[in-house]
Structure 1
Amino acid sequence: MGSGAATASRPSTPPAAPSRRRRSPLRLVLGALVALLAVAVALFVWSAALVVTHGRADDARGADTVVVLGAAQFNGTPGPYLLARLEHALALYQSGTATKVVTVGGKQPGDTYTEGGSGRDWLVRHGVPAGDVVAVEKGRDTLQSVQLAAPVLSAHHWTSAVVVTDRWHELRSTTMLADQGITAYGSPTTTGPSVASPAADAKYVVREAAAYLYYRFHRALS
């Protein structure tokens, strides 16, 4: 037996855990902004894809009426955008897609004629019986025009419509009319200034993608 007492061993001290570095408020804010930007970009791309998809499809089918969205007129003469829409609506009427046509759109300050009235007069001059055309001569923009047209359609017991407008305007227009309780089918124009060039297409798609998102968010929050 040894003379010296065994020395008691000391328990080992566990290594200190690495300290966590707190994120600065600035980094948190920047991270949130980046995430929001990514969501916004994704939503815009999704909206633009819908605009293009609907604009390239023609969903014309038998309906109660054809609804022609308004565009600029000059002293009662349809401008190039409105003319392209009216020519397309006339072809749909003549093919029997619908037996009635509704033209919509008010007038700008200082104008004598309305978009809806100018459209009606053009169709009558080109062979559509006056009794088959109804003009809704109010509305300063697409939403107002659609909201004012929907009760007119309901009063005639028309529950379905083929919407005629520019290619990239079709998604927003049919969505708005459907939200008013009318079954809406899109039949976009394939002529006119809105499809005159790739640059015109790109400009119109960007504008409509933003407008469609704004409408959807505004409606969801209202």
Structure 2
Amino acid sequence: MRLALPALLIGAVATAALQIARYAAEPAPAKVDAVIVLGAAVWQNQPSPVFEERIKHGIQLIRNQAADYLILTGGIGIADAHAESAVAHQYALAAGVPAQRMLTEAVSTVTAENLAQACALMKQHGLDNALIVSDPLHMKRAMTLARDIGITAYAAPTPTSRYRSWHTKAESLAYETFFYLSHLVIRLTPAAPRCAG
């Protein structure tokens, strides 16, 4: 019995990590209402390399007519002067995305809040479905959160990633596994994330 619980925990962690690493997106419709770019760190008034990859992918999807609106998420992080979404908005504007095709929220600080606030924007603007843009290893958790919050969502992982070395990939996978399993527990409680709208 003493070994049973640790073995079960190890098995659960290993299974979750494998699901995250091997996550395959379901086919998305040819066009959806919105592209949601999940927030990430900014460096002063510039997106971090990880965030830049997400923004660039969101911009490309808009250029390819995959959606009508680009939803940019993320508030002001610790020691930052600018909201992540504001930095992303300026980046996309400079890349030629019309301001009227962008929606932003600037209060969220974690993935669940990104998606809850994006859900509220979708409701306000009558948008029914969305592509979720983030890093490949983030997609399993992001998609689970989106669906739990109530967004009809399809995965659109970045084709490139700043997590390239075995070390950075391992760190990212460990991080995602912990927070994915944490969400599976939280979703059963009153603290589960809800659409902010």
Output the TM-score relative to the length of structure 2.
0.89
Structure 1 residue 57 displacement after superposition: 4.1
1:190 is paired with a residue whose SS is: coil
Residues in 1 aligned to 2:180 and 2:143: alpha-carbon distance in whole angstroms: 11
Matched, 1:219 2:187: yes
2:3 is paired with a residue whose SS is: helix
Residues in 2 aligned to 1:34 and 1:60: alpha-carbon distance in whole angstroms: 43
* Structure 1 consecutive aligned stretches of length 4 or more whose deviation exceeds 3 Å: 56-61
Matched, 1:155 2:124: yes
1:40 to 2, 6, 9: 9
Structure 1 residue 182 displacement after superposition: 0.8
2:177 to 180, 184, 209: 209
2:187 is paired with a residue whose SS is: helix
Output the TM-score relative to the length of structure 1.
0.80
1:193 is paired with a residue whose SS is: coil
8 Å CA contact 1:69, 1:165 repeated in 2:
yes
8 Å CA contact 1:68, 1:89 repeated in 2:
yes
* Alignment RMSD (CA, Å): 1.6
User: Is the alpha carbon distance of 1:115 and 1:170 closer, same or farther for their aligned partners in structure 2, counting shifts above 3 Å?
Assistant: same
Residues in 1 aligned to 2:132 and 2:147: alpha-carbon distance in whole angstroms: 10
Superposed CA deviations along residues 78-135 of structure 1, whole A, max 9, x for unmatched, are 1101100011111111111111100000012342210011111111110110000111
Greater Rg, structure 1 or structure 2?
1
Equivalent pairs: percent with the same residue? 27
Provide the aligned length of Structure 1 versus Structure 2. Answer: 189
Residues in 2 aligned to 1:87 and 1:199: alpha-carbon distance in whole angstroms: 24
Residues in 2 aligned to 1:81 and 1:125: alpha-carbon distance in whole angstroms: 18
Matched, 1:138 2:99: no
1:113 to 61, 82, 89: 82
Aligned to 1:89: 58
1:64 is paired with a residue whose SS is: strand
Give the structure, 1 or 2, with the largest relative contact order (CA under 8 Å, sep 6 or more): 2
User: Is the alpha carbon distance of 1:59 and 1:78 closer, same or farther for their aligned partners in structure 2, counting shifts above 3 Å?
Assistant: farther
Residues in 2 aligned to 1:118 and 1:213: alpha-carbon distance in whole angstroms: 31
Aligned to 2:145: 176
Matched, 1:165 2:134: yes
Aligned to 1:200: 168
Which amino acid in structure 2 is aligned with residue 219 of structure 1?
R
Aligned to 2:41: 72
Structure 1 residue 53 displacement after superposition: 2.1
Which amino acid in structure 2 is aligned with residue 218 of structure 1?
I
In structure 2, runs of 5+ residues without a counterpart are 191-197
Aligned to 2:193: none
Which amino acid in structure 2 is aligned with residue 175 of structure 1?
T
1:220 is paired with a residue whose SS is: coil
Structure 1 residue 58 displacement after superposition: 7.1
Structure 1 residue 221 displacement after superposition: 3.4
Residues in 2 aligned to 1:76 and 1:191: alpha-carbon distance in whole angstroms: 22
Aligned to 1:18: none
In structure 1, runs of 5+ residues without a counterpart are 1-30
Residues in 1 aligned to 2:88 and 2:7: alpha-carbon distance in whole angstroms: 43
